[in-house]
Chain A
């Protein structure tokens, strides 16, 4: 157990360094950061002065160490557009995006788990076929288009939910549903296929032979084991949900991180994009570590591997 924790910690440090290097190199990707950060009509003199002012004339490794040092203190520079610390801006918008991602994850489990469970137990039934077709489709439909179609149905035609904006629970429903669809489909398909495997296992046969009710066999013995891999998927979905939020927020004009990043990209406000990449990656890393720990608690077999 402790070796596992050490291993994970070492891995985490490596990932943090890698992410910071990548985020640092983002500005240098085009070769000349000055041309990225300055307006297109800046003169050569302006560029040279700018380089000196923010230290771009130093060797790259020195710049990276400096970047790392400041990043460790939460300093990613100032947003050119908002004239505020970049990390502050990102953190300010984080709760709204977390709410959206949380809503999406909640919906994915609330609908995906029962759907996968019933489809697995009633294999070949109409429910199974319809649910699995929807799940297959759910993994092929682009989220931004699905969002627009939901707006068309619920906001334009039925007029029951707001088209865009944020702040109330009603504003969370459509973006949450849109973002959840892919994960929901994944959870339903995975749980169904796990249920099919588990229902053939010896302990399920034993449970049945003991004379337990089918309900108890399915819920207490089969589902418990079939849902272990689902936990991993939920952990891995964190990255998808936070990344997908950028697009879904754009569709619904939802005032979260995605909107901020999108605006920053249009304004060539690279400091904000850097702060965003680092913060989200750290968040995903933390979530994955937590899932790893939960996994070892749920499945004793992992501990002894």
Chain B
């Protein structure tokens, strides 16, 4: 199984999970952190970093190829059909993705963790109701649910955040529920109960700290999913409205000009792919480092 290039064969201790070490070489997470750093910086400092105005059309310099010049200015990634600098729009687009990703996940993680705690701690009716709700939501394809709700509500940043946030609670609820079941009968919880601690105190002080690791790992992957979903909705015209630059919307803008100006759609799409890849790599790494139960599984 092992060769010179493959990872060394696991020792017996590693095989049974006693002795763990990070399976991935440190390069992917380092690369992911660098890319994510650039993404967050671009989002936060967009007005300072962007070389040009991202929203005002300038028809005299429309569809300039990457690296081209006009009016004495250089456009590194070219300009779009309305003459706006694509690099600046990609930088401002990072801001939209960052805001949507963080806000939607904050809503989903809070709601899901809360429901998972209730479901696992109280069991019975509460548990059955929450499990049923999850089953119901999962039976409707996510994109179809999001598209139809957005179609009725109308597009807009806050609505995208709300729809993506409220629909992303299931993973947290399921995992947190399982973890609560595992720790609910531990001695320290029983001791706290015997000492007369209220349910709220037990949940907050003794159970929540034990489930937060899993919630953090899920949240990382969910940020990537929220960014992809927002891009899809914006591509369909149901997400962020123009002229605000969003990566999905920018890809849609370039669709008509694909044969003549390939760069309009290409750059923002690449930005989505690289960002999502970086977040997923970070998530894989976090899962390996934070969650002992996953060590040694898969590759």
Contacts and interface: CB of A to CB of B under 8 A. Distances in A.
Interface stretch (A49-57, A147-155, A290-298): A147-155
B142 A239 contact: yes
Interface string B233-253: 001101000000000100110
B258 interface: yes
A29 B258 contact: no
Interface string B14-30: 00000000000000000
Given A142-B228, A265-B151, A149 B143 contact: no
A246 B151 CA distance: 13
A233 B138 CA distance: 14
Given A124-B3, A196-B299, A156 B258 contact: yes
Given A30-B153, A145-B265, A247 B236 contact: yes
Contacts of A262: 236
Interface in B130-180: 132, 135-136, 138-145, 147-149, 151-153
B149 A144 contact: no
Interface string A131-163: 010001101111111101101100010000000
A111 interface: no
Interface in A1-50: 11, 14-15, 18-19, 22, 26-27, 29-30, 36
A27 B272 CA distance: 33
A277 interface: yes
Interface string B209-239: 0000000000000001000100110011010
Nearest to B6: A124
Contacts of A261: 147
B11 interface: no
Nearest to B269: A145
A295 B35 CA distance: 41
Interface stretch (A62-70, A84-92, A204-212, A280-288): A280-288
Contacts of B153: 29-30
Q: Give the dominant DSSP class at A's interface.
A: helix
Interface residues on A, range: 35 or more
Given A14-B132, A14-B136, A29 B232 contact: no
Nearest to A141: B273
A303 interface: no
Contacts, number: 152
Among A11, A26, A145, A243, residue most surrounded by chain B Cβ atoms (within 10 Å): A145
Contact of A148 (B147, B149, B265): B265
Contacts of B142: 239-240, 243
A144 B249 CA distance: 11
Contact of B248 (A139, A140, A142): A142
Given A156-B259, A192-B299, A140 B141 contact: no
Contact of B143 (A151, A243, A276): A243
B114 interface: no
Among A132, A140, A152, A239, residue most surrounded by chain B Cβ atoms (within 10 Å): A140
Contact of A136 (B262, B266, B277): B277
A273 interface: yes
Q: Give the dominant DSSP class at B's interface.
A: helix
A151 B151 CA distance: 28
Contact of A142 (B5, B152, B269): B269
Among B136, B140, B259, residue most surrounded by chain A Cβ atoms (within 10 Å): B140
Contacts of B136: 14-15, 18-19, 22
B48 interface: no
Interface in B68-119: none
A276 B143 CA distance: 13
B152 A277 contact: no
A152 B255 CA distance: 10
Contacts of B145: 22, 277
B298 interface: yes
A243 B144 contact: yes
A227 interface: no
B258 A151 contact: yes
Contacts of B5: 124
B276 interface: yes
Contacts of B194: none
A55 B185 CA distance: 54
14 contacts: A11-B135, A14-B135, A19-B139, A26-B152, A27-B152, A142-B228, A142-B232, A143-B232, A144-B231, A148-B251, A149-B266, A196-B299, A240-B141, A261-B147
Interface of A: 11, 14-15, 18-19, 22, 26-27, 29-30, 36, 123-124, 132, 136-137, 139-146, 148-149, 151-152, 156, 192-193, 196, 239-240, 242-244, 246-247, 250-251, 261-262, 265, 270, 273, 276-277, 280-281, 284-285, 288
Given A14-B136, A136-B277, A261-B147, 8 more contacts: A15-B135, A15-B136, A22-B136, A136-B280, A137-B273, A246-B236, A250-B235, A280-B144
